[in-house]
Amino acid sequence: MKVFFHYCTYGFSNCYILGAEGKGKGPGIAVIVDPGSMDEQILDFIESNDYSLKAVLVTHDHVNHVHGLKTLRRIYGAEIYAVNHVIQDHKTSIVHDGEVIEIGPFRVAVISIPGHSSDSAVFRVDRLLFTGDALTAGLVGRTSSSYGAVIQMNALRSKILSLPGDFIILPGHGPPSSLEAERRFNMGVRNFDETKSRRTAFKVDYL
């Protein structure tokens, strides 16, 4: 399996392509994650490796992660997998928390992490976690309310940070990381815990 990383200058987001070699004379299978743009570098990677692009995985429907989808669909007939039923006017194959999708040789596990957006999802492929904006190196996703922050943190703790062993974190923005590093050093998690502790102490003192 090859992993191609592409930095999209539109929205300063990360795009990833997974490629598996074909057997015999047939083309290999490729999957793209969060096409924030669709440019020559992405096309060259797909075509020069003789990949057949079968699927698009969308971690969440924010424009800087799906801006290239319209161009992509003009070139490839890849199926779009997302929590939302429509992305950029394209109908999707809706995915649900806990579901495992079979795309050629790839087994893609879907992990719902609402908070940064209502449709945020993490995709797990082997020891890789494509986390979108829910979890990045040192940070967690921004939310529009404290309620959303609690929902997101509970999901991250129960579904991602609690995973046994180590994984490679491939986020929607910033550098890659490891799950062990985020468990130990993520400032977004620490700040959330400290804020929660202060609120609890205030309630106790007030009572």
Dump pLDDT digits (tens) for 46-79: 999 999 999 999 999 999 999 999 999 999 999 9
Which domains can be identified in the chain, with CATH numbers? Answer: 2-206 (3.60.15.10)
* Confidence (pLDDT) at 196: 61
Q: Which has the higher per-residue pLDDT, 26 or 96?
A: 96
Distance set, CA 150 to CA 35, 118, 181 (Å): 29, 13, 21
* Confidence (pLDDT) at 23: 67
Stretch 109-121: mean pLDDT: 97
For the chain, give the percent of residues with pLDDT over 90: 86
167 phi, psi to nearest 5 deg: -135, 160
Distance set, CA 19 to CA 3, 11, 87, 100, 163 (Å): 6, 24, 23, 18, 25
Burial class for 160, CB neighbours closer than 10 Å (0-12, 13-18, 19+): buried
Which pLDDT band, with edges at 50, 70 and 90, does 174 fall under?
A: very high
Give the C-alpha separation, 138 to 190, whole Å: 10
Give residue for tokens 């020069």. 48
Give the C-alpha separation, 20 to 111, whole Å: 23
